[in-house]
Structure 1
Amino acid sequence: MRVEHLYRYPVKGLSAEALEQVELREGECIAHDRQFALVQGDAPFDPAAPRFLPKQNFACLMVNARLALVASAYDGRSGQLSLSVPGAAPLLADTRSPEGRASIAALLSRYMADEARGNPYFTEASAHNFTDQKTKGISLINMASLEALEAAVGQKLDLLRFRANLYFTGLPAWAEFDWVDREILVGGARLQVFKRTVRCPATQVNLRTGERDLDIPRLLRQHFGHADLGVHARVLEGGRVALGDSLEAPLDA
């Protein structure tokens, strides 16, 4: 098995950033993955005491499909975030300053219009990642499973609909579900798969149009009897993972 693609998503709900390699750390997500979020104004989130909340408390594709049309890029060294929002001038803002965060929140809130609730604010929280899981880790997709879905629905699907961190080849479709509660080796890291990835309405969104064009959860249930695609894993031992690295699985947990 082979690592084909690596991605991070610095801002929850916004665009992916392709990576050539990552340095995984024990018990953590990929560096800068879901580091930031636009918090809805009525959400009970406290940056000083961060905790997991369901995704609808933040700007997210599940609820805000037009976010697919926002292009973002984050520089982890400088803290600068660039945004290209339809109908607005490009923005380059400092995520480490109150003024920069306020300008990001204002631009995204204007674009979301009626979907922005209360006074949304853009934030990060120390040692917190705005993932859809309470357990920190990375998400993996078997390309053969994605291809099986494509064959069933009769069309090619953008792999970024599924917002995984790592995409790999070399395993039969759906065989990765047998990894749950077992360990795998990826590059120089050791992971433990802890659950299958249940797909939500975010996968309905066409990333080129910002519109919902395919009900992926329903199609998965219709053709395969479940709404799952991919798995989640926690990092047991950190290490370097790069494109082209091998996966070895499963090992006894």
Structure 2
Amino acid sequence: MANARLALLHTAFDPKTGLLAIRAPEAPPLLASTRTVEGRAEIAAFLTRFLGEEARGTPRFLEAPGHNFTDVAAKCVSIIGLSSLHALEEKAGMHLDPLRFRANIYVSGARPWAEFDLLGQEIQLGAARLRVFKRIVRCPATEVNPETAERDALPPKWLRQHFGHADLGVYAEVVEGGRIAVGDALEPLEGDLLH
């Protein structure tokens, strides 16, 4: 939210080995261990160079076992209905890359805001069973274009202005884990089918 430039980074983490890969535009990629002092120092130096004046000092890599850095305390996944996103795009008059909203799961095929109807319900997605518990209030981080790292849109403002709320998507806790894949149907255990 504070460092728009971070949107340009592509990362991958292997929890088994502790290796973190970071790829920035026009720079050699970094592959460093999060489990060694040297590796964490390499990560901090890479981020400091990349952020430049935005850095406000040298970042520190910290580990917090059992803690997730998310917008909600509950361990959950985020789901966005693409038709809701398209409704926002239509009102905004511009394309909004879905990656702006950092969802775990995108669904299509339902009317705009249909995911809000799932609140309090259990759903089946592939082999996983989830319980939808909260709408996602969008924050200023969604203003940042993931391709350019520029603040070029106002999704929270546009949602409030055109739809009377700042919500896009829902949070769901995993009730029973299982494999999911592209094309799996999202099936409310009661009601209509979403894809």
Same fold (TM over 0.5): yes
CA contact (8 A) 1:104 1:122 kept: yes
Which gives a bigger RCO, structure 1 or 2 (Cα 8 Å, sep 6+)? 1
The aligned runs of 1:88-167 (5 Å cut-off) are 88-167=27-106
| Structure 1 residues not aligned, in runs of 5+ | 1-61
Superposition RMSD in Å: 1.9
Partner of 1:185: 124
Q: Which has the higher strand share?
A: 1
Which amino acid in structure 1 is aligned with residue 41 of structure 2?
Answer: A
Contact 1:179 1:250 in 2 (8 A): no
Number of residue equivalences: 191
Which structure has greater helix proportion? 2
Please name the residue that 1:218 is paired with: 157
TM-score (norm: length of structure 2): 0.89
Alignment match of 1:200 (pick from 139, 144, 166) = 139
Q: Tell me what 1:230 maps to.
A: 169
Structure-2 residue corresponding to 1:53: none
| 1:81 and 2:12 correspond | no
TM-aligned CA distance change 1:242 to 1:86, over 3 Å: closer
Q: State how far apart, in whole Å, the 1-side matches of 2:108 and 2:74 are.
A: 25
Q: Percent identity?
A: 58
Shift of 1:189: 1.4
Q: Is the 8 A contact 1:182 1:193 kept in 2?
A: yes
CA distance in 2, matches of 1:242, 1:146: 21
TM-superposed deviation, 1:80: 2.1
Q: Which stretch of structure 1 is more off in the superposition, 95-104 or 156-165?
A: 95-104
